[in-house]
Structure 1
Amino acid sequence: MTANKEDPRIVRSRALILDAAREVFLESGYQAATTDRIAEKAGIAKRTIYNLYSDKESLFRATIFSAIEVADAFAASLAEEVRLTEASVADLIDIGRRLAETTLLGLPLSLRRLLVMESHRFPDLVTEYRSRAPEAVMAALADLLESMMRAGSLRPASPQLAAQHFAFLVMGADLDRAMFTGIRPSARGARLRAIAGAEAFARAYVSPDRACNSFSSGPG
């Protein structure tokens, strides 16, 4: 075994603890959640939690950071796409679908709701989450759109405003609804609305000479 490789038992325990903590914190809120309940739901000994996380606050922060890591990875993937010579409208449709799936169908949605619930208790965590998750993704998206504008694929506009339009069109209504109700959209519904939203964005922003044959992507 490589010296720096983490013990797989620790990796497994950490995953079980974070999954259970997310459920318990969402069910009960931070104040009422207990490590006993988290340990019970995770199916592990309570002392294992304290071996990995010093206290309940550390565990809560680790739970939120698991959502930040997802956003970090998505922002990094967008930054990589900026290095493409010229992204196409089909690429935008795929990015819109991926953005909706990552945000609405994975960890970020439930953990964003959890953080909003406890924002009065963890204002510093709210600030860090915003800067490293939604704002980082929006900045990377704006960079990508700006590169497409420079290449002539999209008409000149404010990249930051265009990124806001794109994000709302592909997932804004679903995200708003889910934040209030806690009910996720279906995977198929989220994908279809994301594709339709990206196509609506393209109709507004694609350069006139690139508009023909732009919409080749179907619902999948």
Structure 2
Amino acid sequence: MSKTTAVRPRGRPGGSSGAELLAVARQVFLANGYAGATMDAVAAGARISKQTLYRQYPSKDELYAAVVRDWVDRGHDAMVPHVRALLDAPDVAEGLLQLARTMQAGILSPPVLQMRNLVATEAERFPAVAADYLARSWQRNQRLLAGALARLAERGVLRVADADVAAEQFTWLVIAAPLNRVTLQGGARTDDERRLASIAAEAVTTFLSRYRSTP
């Protein structure tokens, strides 16, 4: 008698895992908010079974926290080369202008705005997640900028007594108006490039009028 070989059923092909799974989950949370997002929708988008998803993330709370943590990790060092470029710039005004435009491009980009809004909306429900997001993204980048401004002061390029305050002032000069418009006016679009460039230039002029060392 001939023997037949049993064929083992294969799992779902092409299912998402790891960072790809978290990217799928992020889109579900952004599209539906925390309340409207479901584990079923995430599993379907990732092409995995719900059981597989629950083995990795036993609850929607844990999945949401992992999504935000992954987002912060991805952008963790994004500002480092731009701050270094400021320190290496032969002209501080031009260096600050380039940094201002980079900050606008990053902070006002749709993905960053969407995550910022999601975390802010769910901050009361997940205070620890929001605190981690704030500390490892915004506050870390502000410390990087403050450190660069302090080094420029040591070189005699700037006159800065409190680098943390100076970094905060520069940041808000650069992004406050466009950020308010796009986040507080429903459906408002980010300012066009010409308008943003004008805001950045005026921010640098104002900042240097306060902090530039006199010859």
Normalized against structure 1, the TM-score is what? 0.74
Moved more, 100-109 or 131-140: 100-109
Deviation at 1:76, TM superposition (A): 3.4
- Asked if 1:96 is matched to 2:86, the reply is no
Which consecutive residues of structure 2, in runs of 5 or more, have no partner in the other structure?
1-13
- Conserved? CA contact 1:81–1:144, under 8 Å: no
3-state DSSP of counterpart to 1:119: coil
Normalized against structure 2, the TM-score is what? 0.75
Deviation at 1:46, TM superposition (A): 3.8
3-state DSSP of counterpart to 2:149: helix
- Conserved? CA contact 2:86–2:92, under 8 Å: no
The aligned residue for residue 44 of structure 1 is 47
The aligned residue for residue 148 of structure 1 is 152
- Conserved? CA contact 1:143–1:159, under 8 Å: yes
Larger relative contact order (C-alpha < 8 A, sep ≥ 6)?
1
State the alpha-carbon separation in 1 of the partners of residues 106 and 190 from structure 2.
Answer: 12
The aligned residue for residue 185 of structure 1 is 190
3-state DSSP of counterpart to 1:120: coil
The aligned residue for residue 218 of structure 1 is none
The aligned residue for residue 61 of structure 1 is 65
**Residue identity opposite 2:97 in structure 1:** I
CA spacing shift, 1:20–1:79, aligned 2, 3 Å: same
**Residue identity opposite 1:44 in structure 2:** R
**Residue identity opposite 2:190 in structure 1:** P
CA spacing shift, 1:85–1:96, aligned 2, 3 Å: closer
* Runs of 4+ with deviation above 4 angstroms: 12-16, 78-87
Moved more, 45-54 or 143-152: 45-54
State the alpha-carbon separation in 2 of the partners of residues 24 and 73 from structure 1.
Answer: 26
3-state DSSP of counterpart to 1:72: coil
**Residue identity opposite 1:153 in structure 2:** V
Give the aligned CA root-mean-square deviation in angstroms.
3.0
Matched residues, percent identical? 27
- Conserved? CA contact 1:105–1:184, under 8 Å: no
What's the CA shift string for 1:96-133, capped at 9, x where partnerless? 11122121115332111101111121111111111111
